[in-house]
């Protein structure tokens, strides 16, 4: 018995030491997932508020102009207004997405926000990107199938549409007017639990957390401490008046759960993206044609700037809008259309609100002097023309039998290739009969190199009779060729 007791004691001591050493050396891991308020006295009389030091006493000095007196804090009206318009979205994969095919299965789930009574729904791109069929469940348990209108990986937004009328919806608010310290509500519909509502304050604006893996990504998030958990991605961030001021997108956490940092795409940017997806099927991205960097203390001293803020131009692309307007390497942009651009995210958000062909007024510093310039924004091809992926373009790809997407910045770096990726292949289609698999990266069409879907569609429309696609697969050596008639 003594030996058994000794063995048990040694084992227990060893376990305790092991756990202690693990805890001592373990480094918390920060994970980004896409996807407590101060006491305020309410319903007191003036005398009770004075006793609780909420209001000054009769003989006390007058409060300063910065004194803020809270009288009530009630989120019920906003919550009742918004929750019926926040839906659950289930993305289901039904087309062939691998060599081995396979049946339909649920691939992702999240939240969405109805933004019009006729059934337009905005959500995050990462909520729907792995699916090709979309099941919508309203707060009142009604179910709909949704159509994909368009998506934008660079802002992590997507637009769906259900066939219905007189749906509850959330009206857009002005995210520019949201101030740090202001109360907001986060409303989601995760895992069909019906709408969940949490509250917090705006912690910061113009935040970039480097989660969008797209070469043209726009990150200028509203940061809040409203509790947002996985499943709430794509839900609504609303003001206390019940206006939509953001789409909840991500959290930063070490535990995998909410820890106080959540991020939302501002509503003013959301509105522009949604308008483009409705009108064209793709986002019209206006560009300055510059390479940018943040102004730090060392650079501010070197350039003789009065403040450590602004966006430094490290290069200006020949033929771009900024080049045509006379901007040069070394200039520091401090505002766009009189809106201060203290940081890179602020500048990117402002430019992202405009389309190619729009003119913006830049204010910049050169050699210590402030100047202004009118800049005509251009697209990726350095022209002011708009592109469309609606109507004939969508039907053309659908008739051929595949879906395409552009490569992410990481894929371009890793594979050292330009092109577009085949996202899925329709069963029984012309493309399937070529034996092409999803994941094929198209680098050439009829021996013409392509960089994006726009250039691919232009060459596809110019093809006379037969089409030859050339490209690669990430995990297989060599080049592959697929031919078909149109």
16: left (phi over 0), alpha (psi -120 to 50) or beta: alpha
Cα–Cα nearest to 242, from 171, 328, 166: 171
What's the pLDDT tens digit per position in 437-470?
Answer: 989 999 999 999 998 888 898 899 888 889 999 9
**Lowest-pLDDT range of 155-159, 224-228, 431-435:** 224-228
Q: Furthest-apart CA pair in the chain: how many Å? A: 91
User: In this structure, are strands 86-93 and 290-294 parallel, antiparallel, or unpaired?
Assistant: unpaired
Rounded CA-CA distance 174/270 in Å is: 11
Four-residue CA torsion sign, 416, 33, 88, 86:
negative
What's the pLDDT tens digit per position in 172-205?
Answer: 999 999 999 999 999 999 875 667 899 999 999 9
Rounded CA-CA distance 458/454 in Å is: 6
What's the pLDDT tens digit per position in 424-440?
Answer: 888 888 999 999 998 99
Structural domains of the chain in order of their starting residue, each with its CATH number = 30-35+75-278 (2.40.10.120), 290-376 (2.30.42.10), 392-485 (2.30.42.10)
* Tokens standing for residue 116: 């019009």
Residue 404: strand pairing partners: 422
What's the pLDDT tens digit per position in 26-77?
Answer: 444 333 445 422 222 223 334 443 443 434 444 444 444 444 444 457 789 9
Active-site positions?
126, 156, 233
């Amino acid at each position: 018995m003594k030996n058994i007791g000794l063995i048990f004691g040694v084992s227990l001591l060893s376990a305790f030491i092991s756990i202690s050493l693990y805890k001592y050396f373990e480094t918390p891991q920060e994970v980004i997932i896409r996807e407590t308020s101060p006491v305020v006295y309410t319903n007191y009389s003036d005398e009770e508020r004075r006793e609780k030091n909420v209001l000054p006493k009769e003989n006390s000095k007058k409060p300063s102009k910065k004194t803020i007196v809270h009288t009530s804090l009630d989120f019920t009206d906003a919550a009742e207004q918004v929750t019926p318009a926040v839906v659950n979205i289930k993305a289901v994969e039904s087309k062939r997405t691998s060599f081995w095919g396979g049946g339909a299965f649920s691939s992702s789930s999240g939240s969405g926000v109805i933004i019009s009574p006729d059934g337009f729904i905005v959500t995050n791109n990462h909520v729907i990107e792995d699916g090709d069929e979309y099941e919508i469940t309203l707060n009142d348990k009604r179910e709909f199938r949704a159509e994909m209108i368009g998506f934008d990986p660079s802002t992590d937004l997507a637009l769906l549409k259900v066939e219905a009328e007189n749906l509850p919806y959330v009206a857009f608010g002005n995210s520019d007017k949201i101030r740090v310290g202001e109360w907001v509500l986060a409303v989601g519909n995760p895992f069909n639990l019906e709408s969940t509502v949490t509250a917090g304050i705006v912690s910061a604006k113009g935040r970039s957390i480097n989660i969008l893996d797209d070469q043209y990504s726009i990150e200028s998030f509203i940061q809040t401490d409203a509790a947002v958990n996985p499943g709430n991605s794509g839900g609504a961030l609303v003001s206390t008046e019940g206006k939509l001021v953001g789409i909840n997108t991500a959290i930063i956490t070490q535990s995998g759960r909410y820890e106080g940092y959540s991020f939302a795409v501002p509503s003013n940017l959301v509105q522009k993206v949604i308008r483009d997806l409705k009108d064209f099927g793709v986002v019209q991205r206006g560009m300055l044609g510059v390479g940018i960097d943040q102004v730090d203390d060392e650079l501010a001293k070197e350039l003789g700037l009065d403040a450590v803020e602004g966006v430094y131009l490290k290069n200006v692309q020949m033929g771009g809008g900024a080049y045509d307007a006379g901007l040069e390497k070394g200039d520091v942009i401090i505002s766009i259309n009189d809106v201060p651009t203290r940081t890179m995210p602020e500048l990117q958000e402002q430019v992202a609100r405009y389309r190619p062909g729009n003119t913006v007024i830049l204010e910049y510093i050169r050699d210590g002097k402030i100047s202004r310039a009118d800049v005509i924004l251009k697209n990726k091809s350095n022209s002011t023309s708009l592109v469309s992926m609606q109507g004939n373009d969508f039907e053309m790809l659908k008739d051929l039998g595949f879906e395409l997407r552009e490569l992410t910045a990481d894929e371009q770096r890793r594979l050292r290739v330009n092109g577009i990726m085949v996202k899925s292949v329709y069963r029984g289609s012309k493309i399937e009969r070529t034996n092409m698999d999803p994941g094929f990266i198209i680098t050439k069409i009829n021996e013409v190199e392509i960089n994006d879907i726009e250039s691919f569609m232009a060459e596809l429309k110019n093809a006379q009779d037969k089409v030859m696609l050339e490209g690669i697969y990430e995990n297989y050596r060599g080049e592959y060729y697929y031919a078909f008639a149109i």
